[in-house]
Chains A and B, each alone.
Chain A
Amino acid sequence: MPDNLPGPIARRNEGTGQAGEIMVGASRTLLLKDGGKIGRALSEFLVCPLSKQPLRRCQDSQSLISDAIGVSFPIIDGIPCLVPKDGKLLEDQDVSKIENGADPSVVHGER
């Protein structure tokens, strides 16, 4: 297999050409459409960065949940964001949803 590296990404005003941009967009779309599989694979080997306990994928949102510390970490553009500051307390998210009119029994059941 050739041992060379991907080149740098051309800047917008240099242009890879429309074909290149369409190809990048299409590949990313396919990858993101596979989001369900990405989420399950990630939760199989990633752990909570703080507690080092297993994570589980939230069914509704694209996120990984640390039940050990009650924090969710988002998955954005297929990339799990597991820097501790990216975590959101589950309690805070539940309160926010209820304040916005959600049924409390549904909100707590989502966990």
Chain B
Amino acid sequence: MASAAPPPISSSLWRCPRGRVRCSAEHQGLFSRIAPVYDKLNDVLSLGQHLIWKRMSVSWTGAKRRDRVLDLCCGSGDLAFLLSQKVGPDGEVSAVDFSKDQLLIATARQDLYWKACYKNIKWIEGDALDLPFADSYFDAITVGYGLRNVLDKQKAMKEIFRILKPGSRVSMLDFNKSSSSLITQSQEWMIDNVVVPIASNYGLSKEYRYLKASIAEYLTGKELEKLAKEVGFSEAKHYEIAGGLMGNLVASR
């Protein structure tokens, strides 16, 4: 297992309502530990449905041929590969993650399952709170299961707003923090009785048990819409998908 990195310069300590203290190094370590089996578990735990949700998320960005796009919190690259096919060889895809282990998996997948358009992808180790891009740079941005893991969500949203071209969209796919107790209980039951037992087969039960608290501490669809408008997006709409288990925020600059 990868050991946790030393505290980063720009990390902030965050105390959640249950009193646990987290920092970005702890999150980074978690994602580095699950990197080797992340893709396989995504396929198993969602019965392959995550690919459909990700295609929907990319469609919502409006990305097209020759566009310059970003996949933020790219992990092992699912959304980056979809964006790569969408924008084609004359487009540009930047894919940013703070886990070197996830990025190395992404580059290995890029090499192993090579398509000509994939050479339009640039993998970058970066921090969602301090993005290495100029203002108004991208035609579209995707964030897949990323914002929930970012400590300062407002700062991340401000950075995304800054680097989007006026009139362009960000599409953020994640678990849905629902106001329906039925959906919340369904999510919690699935995590306790499906996700964690399967993850334990890979020695990662602790890493996946965090999901329940992470979803509980996330923002609801309405709160995400409000946050997007607060930082300056002109439009923001949260769509519930997969029977309300997942959600996708689409915000336009």
Which residues of A come within 8 Å of B, CB atoms? 1, 3, 5-9, 11, 16, 20, 23-24, 27-28, 31, 41-42, 45-50, 52, 55, 76-87
**Does any Cβ of A come within 8 Å of B46's Cβ?**
no
Interface residues of B, count at CB 8 A: 51
What residues of A have a CB within 8 angstroms of the CB of B137 in the complex? 45
Considering only residues 96-136 of chain B, those with a C-beta below 8 Å from chain A are: 98, 100, 103-105, 107-115, 117, 122-127, 130-135
**Is there an interface contact between B43 and A1, defined as CB atoms closer than 8 Å?**
no
The answer to whether residues A85 and B108 also contact, given A3-B55, A5-B51, A52-B134 and a CB cut-off of 8 A, is no
- Give 7 closest A-B pairs by Cβ, nearest first: A8-B39, A6-B113, A85-B8, A27-B111, A6-B109, A49-B130, A82-B132
Q: Is B82 an interface residue (CB 8 A)?
A: yes
* A79 to B95 alpha-carbon distance, docked (Å): 11
CB closest residue in chain B, given A20: B112
Given contacts A9-B108, A41-B122, A49-B127, 14 further A-B contacts (CB under 8 A): A5-B81, A6-B81, A8-B40, A8-B43, A9-B112, A11-B36, A55-B132, A79-B104, A79-B125, A82-B125, A82-B127, A84-B10, A85-B7, A86-B125
| Residue positions of B touching A, CB distance < 8 A | 5-11, 36-40, 43, 51, 55, 76-78, 81-82, 85, 92, 94, 98, 100, 103-105, 107-115, 117, 122-127, 130-135, 137
Specify which chain B residues have a CB less than 8 angstroms from the CB of A78 in the assembled complex.
Answer: 107, 123
